[in-house]
Structure 1
Amino acid sequence: MIEAVGLTKRYGRTVAVDNLSFTVKPGRVTGFLGPNGAGKSTTMRMILGLDRPDAGQVRIDGKTYHQLDRPLRTVGALLDAKWVHPNRSARAHLRWLARSNGLPNRRVGEVLELVGLTSVADRRAGGFSLGMSQRLGIAAALLGDPQILLFDEPVNGLDPEGIHWIRQLMKRLAAEGRTVFVSSHLLSEMAQTAQDLVVVGRGRLIAQCTTAEFVDTASETSVRVRSPQLDRLREVLLRKGYALHVEPGVDGNALVVTGSVTSEQVGEIAAEQDVVLHELSVRRGSLEEAFMRLTGDSVEYRTDGQGPAGPAAAGSEDLMVAGGVNR
């Protein structure tokens, strides 16, 4: 388990992390999300003792990183895939790490095989592609068979097969009861991988909850309906005050009903009017939609011509309510 309490880090006048508290539980993949400049990398560095917080603390299974005797046996991390001496081979790099933490050499071969680098294990790491470097970094993180794992943008440089592999690996590690904390800008990947989320903006906590709660709370759900009597159904729904629009499609026009509405409500109205339905489906919002909505005030640089964004909206940190987002 990772427990951060009141973490604060300043660089001169810039507050990179601002009184940040959260918990990462074992047995789950927890996504760490936020716009550029939100303080994610700084937070991960403080977890690993690479940066010292100006206030607050973070503990790994009840201890600070510096209190761990052989840290690779407790926590493994990938923060910078290119943090390898370029003239060392992948095997030599891992052997050096293993020796520093009292790990057997056989473990080096095991993790090289696990990440698919056995055939290039004796090549210089400086000649590796970004994807190969990512795999080597993951091998280093897994070297001590730790119960806690931190990954910062682990899919950078990976091809589709590699992305699928790391997604399944993280899920498997969590299913084994390990704590998996992963930062990524690829929201589509996080939607498929992370069960829980910690979302930050401008160094402050925006939300900590399950991925499903985050999406359901911060994005819009709609109901799509197709019928040969679409005009009749549209008139009835409008009379009842529902917000809707017509959506053209290759399978014919459809009505999309938005707002506080359920498929059951639309279906019952259609039944009352003897309207035949060819489709009645629920469209749930996406993680990307929810993320953009809740972090819009925390974006450091905009692409709409407005330049740097203003300060985070007052009270954004108050979205945390009893471990979930404010409903």
Structure 2
Amino acid sequence: MIEATGLTKRYGKTVAVDDLSFSVAPGRVTGFLGPNGAGKSTTMRMVIGLDRPTRGRVTVNGQDYRALRHPLRTVGALLDAKWVHPNRSARSHLRWLARSNDLPAGRVDEVLDLVGLTEVAERRAGTFSLGMSQRLGIAGTLLGDPEVLLFDEPVNGLDPEGILWIRQFMHRLADEGRTVFVSSHLLSEMAQTAQDLVVIGRGRLIAQTGTEQFIQEATEGAVRVRSPQPERLRALLEGQGRVDTAEDGALVVHGVESSAIGELAAANGVTLHELSPQLGSLEQAFMQLTKESVEYHATQ
């Protein structure tokens, strides 16, 4: 469990995080979303004690991170995949981390195998690709078999197989009852990975909710309908809601439930070849709710 209460961080006159309160529950993958400059990285740094809050508090399983005697046994965090001495081998880097937290040396080979780096364990980390560095960073988070895991942009540099692997891996960690907190700008991936969301903008909380609920509340759903009698169907529907036409000729109906459309068509003898609800995307919902919080705008 991660709990933030009134979390605030100032750098001079700049307020990076502003009275932020949220919680991250165990047994779920929670996505941490926000535009560039929203304060996500600063918040994660405060969770693991790299930055001190100006005001407020954040705890991990009820304790301040700095109070943990062997932090890797409680929290595993990957905030920067390149945070490793370039001349150390992958195995040496992990052995150093293990020794710093009184972890058994045998655990190193276990986590190398878990992330698929056994064959390159003796290679210098400075020669690793970004994807390999991500895997090494993930191995480091797992060393102490922690209950809480934090990941900042964990799929950067990974190929499709690697992205699928880490998505399934995070779900497995959550299924084991661990707390998994993931920050990412890849919204299509977050839609498949995160069950819950914490969304911030300009350092303030915008939403904390389930992913599906977030999408439903921020986007307008529609129903896609195809029929060999499109004009007759349109005439029946136009008094019920807004009707648009897709490029392939299907009707896209807004403001009417799919069940109501099916019943209306059946009552009037109209044949349907397709009747499918069209949900909004996480990207649409995110853009809708954070548009006032975007700090950097490109010129069109």
Q: Same fold (TM over 0.5)?
A: yes
- 2:130 aligns to what? 130
- 1:143 aligns to what? 143
- 2:247 aligns to what? 248
Superposed displacement of residue 303, structure 1 = 2.3
The amino acid across from 1:303 in the alignment is: A
Superposed displacement of residue 186, structure 1 = 0.5
Superposed displacement of residue 304, structure 1 = 4.0
Asked if residue 294 in structure 1 is aligned to residue 293 in structure 2, the reply is no
Superposed displacement of residue 271, structure 1 = 1.7
In the alignment, structure 2 segments of 5+ residues that lack a partner are: none
Moved over 6 A (4+): none
CA–CA distance in structure 2, aligned partners of residues 108 and 215 of structure 1: 40
Q: Residues 302-321 of structure 1 correspond to what in structure 2 (within 5 A)?
A: 302-305=297-300
CA–CA distance in structure 1, aligned partners of residues 251 and 164 of structure 2: 36
The amino acid across from 2:263 in the alignment is: E
SS at match of 1:297: coil
- 1:51 aligns to what? 51
Q: Cα deviations across residues 250-275 of structure 1 (Å, max 9, x unaligned)?
A: xxx211001x3210111121122211
Superposed displacement of residue 5, structure 1 = 0.4
- 2:279 aligns to what? 284
Q: Residues 67-106 of structure 1 correspond to what in structure 2 (within 5 A)?
A: 67-106=67-106
Superposed displacement of residue 241, structure 1 = 4.2
The amino acid across from 1:302 in the alignment is: H
The amino acid across from 1:244 in the alignment is: V
Answer yes or no: is the 8 Å Cα contact 2:240–2:256 preserved in 1. no
Q: Residues 99-118 of structure 1 correspond to what in structure 2 (within 5 A)?
A: 99-118=99-118
The amino acid across from 2:258 in the alignment is: S
Let me know the Cα RMSD of the aligned residues.
0.8
Q: Residues 1-327 of structure 1 correspond to what in structure 2 (within 5 A)?
A: 1-238=1-238, 240-249=239-248, 253-258=249-254, 260-305=255-300
In the superposition, the TM-score normalised over structure 1's length comes to 0.90
Stretch of structure 1 that moved more, 181-190 or 229-238 = 229-238
The amino acid across from 1:246 in the alignment is: T
SS at match of 1:49: coil
CA–CA distance in structure 1, aligned partners of residues 146 and 139 of structure 2: 12
CA–CA distance in structure 1, aligned partners of residues 83 and 277 of structure 2: 46
| Identity in percent | 72
Q: Cα deviations across residues 179-220 of structure 1 (Å, max 9, x unaligned)?
A: 000000001111101000000001000000000000010011
- Number of equivalenced pairs: 300
CA–CA distance in structure 2, aligned partners of residues 154 and 228 of structure 1: 47
Superposed displacement of residue 158, structure 1 = 0.6
Q: Cα deviations across residues 34-56 of structure 1 (Å, max 9, x unaligned)?
A: 01000000000000000001000
CA–CA distance in structure 1, aligned partners of residues 189 and 223 of structure 2: 25
